[in-house]
Homo-oligomer: A and B are copies of this chain.
Amino acid sequence: MAQVPHEPEEPAVTAASYAEIQQFYGRHMRAMDEGRVEDWTGDFVPDAVFATNARPEPQRGRAEIARNAETAARQLREKGVLRRHCVTTLELRQGGPGPTLLAKTYALITRTVVGERSELEFVCTCEDVLVRHGGRWFIRHRQVFRDDLPES
């Protein structure tokens, strides 16, 4: 094997971490998709930053993130839209120091109105900095990039 163009990340992340983070996203995305905004918001640290190319400015702090999420959830409810965040293709790296992980995912977001066909609404990449406190993981920084929107 003459040439190894990039280093593997495998040794650095345990199977336990990998399973925990997949669980984390399973719970986190369902919370949003089922309209449990408070549960979803609770997955961010209080001073988390959430940047996305769908907004001109990053959202700073759990309170602001919660306000925007509640607005979005209410709009979906009013329009009768079911949205699913289907998370795929997780890649984890050790951040650090301390129990910090960098998690990259692809999300396929579907949109359905009962009686109509489900649609792929948009595709995004998500890069999270995850930190561990008190036996569970939280989001410290999120960068979402929607493929269909220009860089903000």
Contacts and interface: CB of A to CB of B under 8 A. Distances in A.
Interface residues of A, number: 69
Contacts of A123: 84, 86, 110, 112, 118
A84 B87 CA distance: 13
A42 interface: yes
Q: Is the interface of A mostly helix, strand, loop or mixed?
A: mixed
A72 B27 CA distance: 32
A78 interface: no
A48 to B, nearest CB: 12
A69 interface: no
Contact of A19 (B13, B89, B148, B149): B13
